[in-house]
Each structure stands twice: as structure tokens, then as C-alpha cells.
Chain A
Amino acid sequence: MEKGQPSTTGNERKEVVLKLFDAYLKEDLKRIKNLLTDDIRLVVNSYKPSLVREGIYEVLELVQGIFNRAHITEINPHEIMSEENKVMVYLTEKGVWAKGAPSAGDSYQGDRLHIYKIKNGKIMSAEYYLVNENPIPLPGSVNPGH
């Protein structure tokens, strides 16, 4: 039995995150909502200032904003690891800028680190770090800086 989260194993927690990636790729907001707790907290770092969204509706609004600006075509996890209630994923994301972005039609690729905390089979917090210089220009953010 693991500390804090006796009802889920590391593989089950990883599976929750992989389901989220699949829902991102399909831009399926309903599935995304079902994978998140109502009090989800999302932090996107590397933007200045960092973007913080609290609660399911703020988070879904941000996710919809991302979908308006980019169509994610691939999420390739290089490493996915779990310890206690956390899942950490190092991944490459590929996509195409959508009509709402300044470079509409251009493709992009960037490496990300995602850190999730899982509670009762749902994601209760997510932190995204944009590890390289090609992040998605999120709504309401200034140019990303490193």
C-alpha cells in the first residue's frame, strides 16, 4: 500500500495521465473534464508571469484557449514515472498553430515536463514546464521567456 493513495498503483496513475494526453489530442473537453477533480490547479511555467488556473472551469477555459491556438498532433512521452501520488512525464509535443495564433498553419515542436498529482483516479494538480524555446503562446500571456 503506497503512502497517501492506497487505491491506485503507479501504473494506474500513469494511465490517468496517458488518458489525458489522448483527450488532448482529440480536443475532447468532456473527457478532459472527467479526468480532473473539481478543484484542479493548473500551473504553466516558463511564461512570464506563470499562468495559474484554479478550479475545473478556469482550467477548461484555458485548455479551450490552447485548442483555439494550436492543434496538438503528437504527444510523445520519453519518460513517465510515478512515486506516491505524483506522475512526472518528460515529453515532446508536436502540433500546428491554429487560426487564433500569429503563425497560423506553421508547425511547432517542443519538449515539456509535466508533473501531475492524482487523487482517487483523477488529476488534482498539474504543472507544465516548457523546457525549450518553442512554447505555445497561451491566451493572456506575455511572450514566454527563459
Chain B
Amino acid sequence: MMNTREVIETYFYVVNMGNWDKWVTLFDDDIVMDEQLAGHLEGIETLRGAVDGLKKGYSKFINRPLEVLVEGEKAMVLWHIDAANAKGVPIDAKGVNFFIVRNGKISYMANFHDSVPFKPFTDQNLS
């Protein structure tokens, strides 16, 4: 079973591989997430349902951890996202993720960042 740091390292590894299907497997079935753009989410099926939007909505998504601090089951990460929406409009932002990892899975995650840099993602029409 992965410890907290290993889970967090894997999280950023799979995100930067664009492997969103693997990303979902890092979360507990009863995941609770407070996501800056999507709001309060609960349950793995809700998260799985968001994967399609991530795959379609980003043509590029690099999320580099700048600082990682682990304290027991908790972790806090300062990150820098270098991304682009489906049409290639760039997105550049820094923010923070907070994680709780239990039994090798992420049971809670919150992220905090300025929403303005993500307008190219949130304002696009993918239909």
C-alpha cells in the first residue's frame, strides 16, 4: 500500500502523463472533494464522470509540484499549472492542493487557486 507521499507523487505523475483514468483510481470510493472550479463533489462515480470533460477540455495539462509537505495522512502541495484548453489557449496558474490519504487512497482533496486564469477552460463550449 502506498504511503501519503507516494500517493501524492503518483498523483502528479499520472496527471502529467495525461492518464486521467489512472488518476481516478488514486481516490477512495467515498472521496470528498472541494474543487475550486467544480465545487463540492462526493463519490468516485461523480469524479469518474468529470474525466471526460478533462480529457476533452485540455489539449495540454502540466501540473508541476513546486513544494510538497507531508504530515502523516495529510499533504499540502504548491503547484504550477501550464495548460491549454481544447483550442490551445494557454492557461498559467499557481495554486495549492490539500490532500488526506487513508489506506493508500485519497479520501479528501481540496484545491485553491485564482479562477481567472482558467477562463479559457471554463468558458469554452465543448459540445
Residues of A in contact with B (beta carbons under 8 Å apart): 10, 45-46, 79, 81-83, 86, 88, 90, 111, 113, 115, 129, 131-133, 146
User: Whole-angstrom distance from the CB of B61 to the nearest CB of chain A?
Assistant: 18
Contact status A131-B74, CB under 8 Å: no
Contact status B98-A90, CB under 8 Å: yes
Q: How far is the CA of A45 from the CA of B71 in the complex (A)?
A: 24
Contact status A88-B116, CB under 8 Å: no
Please provide the chain B residues from 20 to 77 with a CB less than 8 Å away from any CB of chain A in the complex.
Answer: 67, 69-71, 74-76
Residues of B in contact with A (beta carbons under 8 Å apart): 67, 69-71, 74-76, 78, 93-96, 98, 112-114, 116-117
Contact status A86-B96, CB under 8 Å: no
Determine the residue in chain B with the shortest Cβ distance to A84: B69
Contact status B71-A131, CB under 8 Å: no
Contact status B67-A88, CB under 8 Å: yes
Q: How far is the CA of A83 from the CA of B76 in the complex (A)?
A: 11
Q: Could you tell me the dominant secondary structure of chain B's interface residues? A: strand
Determine the residue in chain A with the shortest Cβ distance to B95: A131
Contact status A79-B94, CB under 8 Å: no
Contact status B114-A129, CB under 8 Å: no
Show 29 residue pairs from A and B whose CB-CB distance is below 8 angstroms, ordered by the A residue.
Answer: A79-B76, A81-B70, A81-B74, A81-B75, A81-B76, A82-B69, A82-B71, A83-B69, A83-B70, A88-B67, A88-B76, A90-B76, A90-B112, A111-B112, A113-B76, A113-B96, A113-B112, A115-B67, A115-B69, A129-B96, A131-B96, A131-B114, A132-B112, A132-B113, A133-B114, A133-B116, A146-B93, A146-B94, A146-B114
The CB with the most chain B CB atoms within 10 A, among A82, A86, A88, A129, is that of: A88
